[in-house]
Amino acid sequence: MVLVAVTFFVLLLLGMPVGLVLGVAGLTGLIDMGGEQFLTMAPGRFFSGLNLFAFLAMPFFILAGEIMNRSGMTLSLVNFAQALVGWLRGGMAHSNMLASVLFAGLTGSATADAAAFGNTFVPAMKKAGYRGDYACAVTAAGSIIGPIIPPSTLAIIYGSLMGVSIAGLFAAGIIPGLLLCLVCMCLIAATARRLKLPKDDSRPNLAHILKEFRGSLLALILPVFILGSILLGFTTPTEAAALAVFYALFVGGVIYRNISWKDLYEMLARTVLICGIIFLIIASASILGWWMTFNQIPQLIADGFLSISETPAIVLGMIIALLLFIGLFMDINAALIILAPVLTPLTISIGMDPVHAGMIIILALTISLMTPPVGACLFVLASVTGERIESITRYLWPFILVELGVLFLTAYWEPVSLFIPRLFGLAG
């Protein structure tokens, strides 16, 4: 165990891609066990780690989001959000947060949200009088809503690996995702005067709101269709994802007519690149995961937790602390793949519903996307805007604290995540 742990962290610190680190660490464990029969298992584990039908939904959802973004439909969502809340003090910050919710229903990706808004919203906010680092902090805080509001790639990975209903996980993310938006908007409103955030002199205009709503209707239909068709049992997540691509292509190519063959090639290439990274991590982690299971490491960790306390509330607190700590240093896809098989049995042993447990794990790891030193959204925003990570973090901490409040509320009051799944019979 020590040899595998040292190999893992040394290679990670040296900058090796996390997908390769996981594979090398797993192979190190197999070699240390001795015997060719263990080492020859690696190729089979590598490919069997990807041999899950539900994984087909990921490239479709990612491609649908790429098409929506390239066709300009996301811009219509931004305009609609601005029409709704842009008249408030700090209106563009509120619009940024609300647009993140709408955008999350298209992509399910935090880094896609951060990159898109880093190139559009942040410059617009700076032009309107906002500090660049504050604009980046708002964007980072809103971007983590992406993996919570369905569709969510993390929910697909977790549900596929642990045999948990993906539709149930999608439904479980709705209320926590909306709460993240609400608490961040409340924080913006509470600090707007102290931070001297700009205020638009315009007033709420129903006619303008209706106009922007009509303009964004085609984009708003897609997430409603995806989630509705899955929850009502008409389609599987994979089928809904494929239909989402068809719809996005139809709207972008036939109605808007602003997608060329070159654009389509570039979007396909970017989808392949994103999926290739994720699938390499999943496949490599399956080798390490088998080694951990063979050596009963999940049981050892569970026994260690329970030896400290068997009280469910305390055990849940330790699980959250571990997830937040690991998320500081590790890619969240890799962390999810490694930790889910370890922690899910532990949560079940203390009486938690698997859908509830999955949402806690996903939410805790997602929050780490905006925490230094390895917060992916921070690095994306710093690279596209030129702002310093240290400066962004100074304004980001209040958002992190209120979003942690949502995490603990979700963890300790299960109706937050289970109300909608139970409504559709997707959770116990």
Position 108 scores a pLDDT of: 67
Chain segment 355-413, per-residue pLDDT in tens: 999 999 999 999 988 887 667 777 778 877 888 888 888 899 999 999 999 999 999 99
Chain segment 48-88, per-residue pLDDT in tens: 777 777 778 888 888 887 887 777 777 787 788 888 887 88
Name residues whose C-beta falls within 8 Å of residue 253's C-beta, 6 or more positions apart in sequence: 71, 259
Question: What SS3 class is residue 89?
Answer: strand
Residues paired with residue 89 on neighbouring β-strands, in sequence order:
199
Contact assessment for residue 370 and residue 400, using Cβ atoms and an 8 Å cutoff: yes
CB-hemisphere CA count at 13 Å for 275? Answer: 18
Q: How confident is the model at residue 415 (pLDDT cuts 50, 70, 90)?
A: very high
Chain segment 177-226, per-residue pLDDT in tens: 999 999 999 999 999 888 888 877 667 778 888 888 888 888 888 888 88
Q: Mean of the per-residue pLDDT values for the chain?
A: 84
Q: What is the pTM of this model?
A: 0.84
Q: How far apart are CA 100 and CA 77, in angstroms?
A: 9
Q: Enter the tokens of residue 58.
A: 């990921």
Question: What SS3 class is residue 199?
Answer: strand
Q: How confident is the model at residue 21 (pLDDT cuts 50, 70, 90)?
A: confident
Terminal CA-to-CA distance of the chain, rounded, Å? 37
Q: From the CB of residue 133, how many other CB atoms can be counted at a distance below 10 Å?
A: 22
Residues paired with residue 199 on neighbouring β-strands, in sequence order:
89
Contact assessment for residue 132 and residue 394, using Cβ atoms and an 8 Å cutoff: no
Going from the C-alpha of 3 to that of each of 19, 24, 30, 303, 336, the distances in angstroms are 18, 12, 11, 22, 22
Maximum alpha-carbon separation in the chain = 74
Helices and strands, number each (H, E), in the chain: 23, 0
Q: Enter the tokens of residue 415.
A: 């109706």
Position 175 scores a pLDDT of: 95
Angle CA 166–169–175, to nearest 5: 150
Asked whether residue 34 carries a pLDDT value surpassing 80, the answer given is no
Contact assessment for residue 381 and residue 118, using Cβ atoms and an 8 Å cutoff: yes
Closest CA to 254 of 119, 396, 67: 67
